[in-house]
Amino acid sequence: MAKKKITKRVSSQVKKLPDASRVAAAAPVIELGERGATSKLIIVGMGASAGGLEAVSQFLRALAPDTGMAFILVQHLAPDHDSMMPHLMALNTRMRVLQVADGMALEANCVYVIPPNTQMRIAAGLLQLAPRPERAQFMPIDFFFNSLAEFAQSRAAGIVFSGTASDGSLGIREIKAAGGITFAQAPQTCKFEGMPRSAIATGAVDMVMGPAEIAVELGRIAHHPFLDGEELPYPTDESREDVLEPRLIRIFAMLRNATGVDFTHYKRPTIRRRLQRRMVLHKITNIDQYIKYMQHNPAEISSLYQDILIHVTRFFREPESFGLLNARVFPTLIERRQADMPIRIWVPGCSTGEEPYSIAIALSESLGEDAHRVPIQVFATDVSNTAVEHARAGFYPESIAADVPEDRLRRYFTKVDGGYRIIKAVRDRCIFARQDLTRDPPFSKLDLIVCRNVLIYLGSAIQRKLTQVFHYALKPTGFLMLGGAESIGPHSELFSIADKRHKLYQRKSSTVRADMEFRPGDKDMGRSGQEEAKVQAEPKRTNNAQTEASRLILARYSPAGVVVDSEMRIIQFRGQTGAFLEPAPGEATLSLFKMAREGLLSGLRGALAEAKRLDAPARKQGLRFNSDGLDRKVNVEVVPLNVPEGRHFLILFEEMSDSVGRDGSAKRKQAEKKGAKAGKGVNEKKAKGGAATTGELEHLRDELAASREYLQSIIQDLEAANEELQSANEEILSSNEELQSTNEELDTAKEELQSTNEELNTVNEELQGRNEELSHVNSDLVNLLGSVHIAIVMVAGDLRIRRFTPMAEKVLNLIPTDVGRPISDLKPNIECPNLEQLIHEAIDTVTIKEQEVKDRAGNWYSLRIRPYKNVENRIDGAVLALFSIGASREARDYAEAIISTVREPLLVVDDEFNVRSVNRAFLRMFRVAAGETEGHGLFTLGNGQWDIPRLRMLLDDILRRDAVFEDFEVGCDFPEIGRKVMLLNGRRVQRSQGLAPLILLAIEDVTGRDGHPQG
């Protein structure tokens, strides 16, 4: 019946609104590309749960109906009831409100609502529905946000409204990483703060506002040019890159000065997307304006830095890759592990720690029963300090249940309020540290490196360097796993492919030395960012016709030659060198001197010696040599090459025209053939023989002269080397004496180091024992605080929260992530505006402060603040304790009402004998005001009439022994009323636990009775 009434009321309200179909017909339908890259439509995903209806209604009421955006609401709904959400939403907006059907296309200025008992994703511009999965943790908001980030990229926006638990936290990170805009409802405006607080704790929320303010902000950025498809920079007469690159260099300089990280060699498309995103948030359309904004707002530099470093990760990301690790890599590492040696793994770019923890868990499962005996070291590094600190804490929202199977959650996680915490055994195996891959040295002797989705953000020069660094860091049989879009590039000599599909590589033995420094003069690293961007942006084109033409011209017209290193090994052949060089018999070699043909050796040696000595080109002309039975003449030129790899030489062979024609045939051979055909006479043959003998003699003389010259250069080199050796010998002798004395010092130092090592071992054992003791004490403290049903909060000297009990979470509305935050940033669920002042007074005056406070539900508590003392008895903060005094306050109010109506004078005294309160009968009898009495010492009232030694003793007995006294007669003179004779009655008033007792003192005036004198 109730449901029918609601339906009827909603229907009547809908009829009063403008025709929704007419509004929707005016809205343009946007054609979407495959991944949203070409679409102009901005898609806003909204996640809400308990209390979300009110928040979304406020949002829609403040939202303009013509923003040109599409709005999709994912609400936690009852699975077995029809949803009234579309009807209720329609009451608050003029936009068309639709319940999603499978395959529905998106239109601008429309609101789409998820139906109950389903989960929804967006792909190819269509909303797709699937049945609710059968698992304990159902996270429909995260599921939709993930698909929205993948599809819409920078045109996605995500909003987390009121709700419990943590659904939406992982998805909001995905949207921000894709370049979208993220919002969260301000917790103080929520009915339930769980979801917004969890999203804010990820650090991925751009703006925290009330629902109406979020609507206004979306309206402001809806028509920003960057969201309409324009990119940095705007078109000008100059080249786009020429305009942008100098400005990027200025931004990189500001980031480097503020954070110490150099983004010069990061990929330009990533940098541009992050810049555009920050400019959209600040409504800036010009990069020069944004640079000025950064200069005047240093906090923006930090925000841009965090935006550039944002990475998305999940537990057991890409399960198939973890299946490969379990099936192939981990068994190999376990089998090859030497006794007492740890398995060492490095995870660079670890982000918030999900991946290293996943690897540690997977390896522990592979070890089985040996997991506790085999040491595991998982080094996890990231350039972001914030990410590293989050990873060390090991605390994650409840939404990780979508990625972590239930059995692993029970075994490796501890359920805490607001999420899960990795167990200590796994945290101890993961070592987190800040590291800049582009500058800091790597780890060594590693079994496995898992570097996924890190290289894709870096330029090609950095990628090449890091590939060499990874090769250096791994053991000879170590493994390297990269992301799906990454590869080792041209370094196939360093790694072999172990699994091509999952980008698993195994280290090869190689003589390539890893270059750990990025020198400014490096050819690749010295390339400007603009050039690097052009290299990355331009596709590699190869014109086969031009290349083949160039090869033919070089082969036909350029002289043949070789390039040799400083040890005369040939490293490159240029052109046809077969006429001058041939392989030597025996073991294969590329030695120039062993491959030179007969007759060339002496001339080559002389030319090389001259080129070495003068460091200039050297030339030898007319060298005679024998090739294929023919005598030839060649000019040899040696050119030194100064390259970073060391001294090299280019050797060119220019065959002389009188021995070889252009077509390569020997003229002498042609002459012999012509002579044979003409049938020359004997005399001509003798003449030719004589000429040949003369030519051979000339050739031998040339060789002898060259040999003498070469020998003379060798003798000179030997003499110079001999002199150097003699001086070096003298230096060695003196150095030997120094080394002997140094050796004695080293022996002494060795003994000292041995003793120091023993001391360090002892200290290490003590530290291990203390760590175990500390662990036990911490466990005891956690259990103690968990079992105490008192709201206790410990704060440091700077008022940052250290610890709190579970009761404090309920009473003060705290969550685990509030640890480390200043208490001034929180709004506890009690009415105490001067809370900070009370804490500072308790710390400064080293006194206990008490005050009665009331929570929002009207419950009364006694707030007690005492200084926090460390083991050295130094004040290091404060401890806040809240005691419920609901019943005692009622009793006190009841007692005060009784006392105020009693006609006998009464007063209440505390344990310091200060008057806490008096009744009206007392004020009338002694003719005093309440301000003259309350808060003053009993023995100082008036002229000290009450300072009676016997009365002091009686009151003291009440406090110490819970005694009672009756009819204690006293007589006092008062200025206003004269002399009074009184009977005093006193008894103890016990208060609630932890509070000091009070004394109730009743006064009976007996002046003038039974012989007592009258005043």
Q: Is the pLDDT of residue 259 over 60?
A: yes
Nearest-10 crossing angle of helices 268-281, 529-537: 110
Give the Cα separation of 605 and 651 in Å (integer).
11
Q: Model confidence over 901-958: pLDDT tens digits?
A: 788 899 888 888 899 888 888 888 888 888 888 888 888 888 888 888 898 889 888 8
CA neighbours closer than 13 Å in the CB half-sphere of residue 925:
21
Q: Is the pLDDT of residue 7 over 80?
A: no
* Three-state DSSP class for residue 837: helix
pLDDT of the residue at 55: 93
Tokens matching residue 257: 């000065």
Tokens matching residue 802: 């250290």
Give the Cα separation of 719 and 932 in Å (integer).
114
Report the DSSP beta bridge partners of residue 131.
118
Q: What is residue 818's DSSP assignment?
A: G
pLDDT of the residue at 620: 87
Q: Model confidence over 187-199: pLDDT tens digits?
A: 999 988 889 998 9
pLDDT of the residue at 363: 93
Q: Can you list the positions of beta strands (E) in 789-888?
A: 791-795, 801-804, 849-854, 860-869, 875-884
Q: Output phi, psi for 705, to 5 deg.
A: -65, -40
Q: Is the pLDDT of residue 739 over 80?
A: yes
Short-list 209, 301, 292, 317, CA closest to 263: 301
* Three-state DSSP class for residue 772: helix
Give the Cα separation of 678 and 468 in Å (integer).
70
Contact 187, 162 (CB under 8 A): no
pLDDT of the residue at 227: 67
Contact 1006, 990 (CB under 8 A): no
Q: For the ranges 78-92, 678-692, 754-768, 855-869, which has the lowest average pLDDT?
A: 678-692
Q: Is the pLDDT of residue 9 over 60?
A: no
* Three-state DSSP class for residue 522: coil
Short-list 131, 65, 137, 141, CA closest to 96: 65
The edge-to-edge listing of strands for the beta sheet with 69-75 is: 96-99, 110-113, 69-75, 42-48, 156-160, 181-185, 207-209
Q: Which distant-in-sequence residues (6+ apart) come within 8 Å of 199 by Cβ?
A: 160, 166, 168, 169, 172, 182, 184, 205
Give the Cα separation of 590 and 593 in Å (integer).
9
Please provide the size of the chain in residues: 1015
Contact 567, 594 (CB under 8 A): no
Report the DSSP beta bridge partners of residue 557.
none
Q: What is residue 266's DSSP assignment?
A: B
Q: What value does the mean pLDDT take over residues 727-732?
A: 84
* C-alpha dihedral sign at 515, 520, 521, 523: positive
**% the chain with pLDDT above 70:** 81
Q: Model confidence over 662-703: pLDDT tens digits?
A: 344 444 444 444 444 444 444 554 555 555 577 667 767 766
Provide the H-helix boundaries in 824-927.
835-845, 886-901, 920-926
Single-letter amino acid, residue 278: R
Q: Model confidence over 162-174: pLDDT tens digits?
A: 998 788 888 998 8
Query: What is the radius of gyration, based on Cα positions, of the chain?
Result: 45
Short-list 250, 160, 169, CA closest to 208: 160
- Taking CA atoms, 987 is separated from 182, 893, 947, 957, 961, in Å, by 65, 19, 19, 10, 11
Short-list 488, 491, 509, 490, CA closest to 500: 488
Cα 837 to its chain centre, rounded Å, is 37
Q: Is the pLDDT of residue 20 over 80?
A: no
Mean pLDDT of the chain: 80
What's the pLDDT band for 711 if we cut at 50, 70, 90? Answer: confident
* Three-state DSSP class for residue 223: coil
Q: Which distant-in-sequence residues (6+ apart) come within 8 Å of 192 by Cβ?
A: 49, 50, 51, 162, 163, 164
Q: For the ranges 136-140, 350-354, 535-539, 974-978, which has the lowest average pLDDT?
A: 535-539
Q: Is the pLDDT of residue 342 over 80?
A: yes
Give the Cα separation of 411 and 423 in Å (integer).
8
- Taking CA atoms, 596 is separated from 536, 563, 603, 657, in Å, by 44, 14, 10, 21
Q: For the ranges 150-154, 381-385, 554-558, 823-827, which has the lowest average pLDDT?
A: 554-558
Q: Is the pLDDT of residue 11 over 60?
A: no
* Three-state DSSP class for residue 119: strand
* Three-state DSSP class for residue 390: helix
Report the DSSP beta bridge partners of residue 986.
965, 1001
Cα 906 to its chain centre, rounded Å, is 67
Q: Which distant-in-sequence residues (6+ apart) come within 8 Å of 919 by Cβ?
A: 899, 900, 902, 905, 906, 907
What's the pLDDT band for 506 if we cut at 50, 70, 90? Answer: very high
Q: Model confidence over 44-76: pLDDT tens digits?
A: 999 999 888 999 999 999 999 888 899 999 998
The angle subtended at Cα 972 by Cα 971 and Cα 977, nearest 5°, is: 120
H or E segment to which residue 475 belongs: strand 474-482
Q: What value does the mean pLDDT take over residues 763-786?
A: 78
* Three-state DSSP class for residue 467: helix
Q: Is the pLDDT of residue 765 over 70?
A: no
pLDDT of the residue at 674: 44
The angle subtended at Cα 570 by Cα 566 and Cα 573, nearest 5°, is: 135
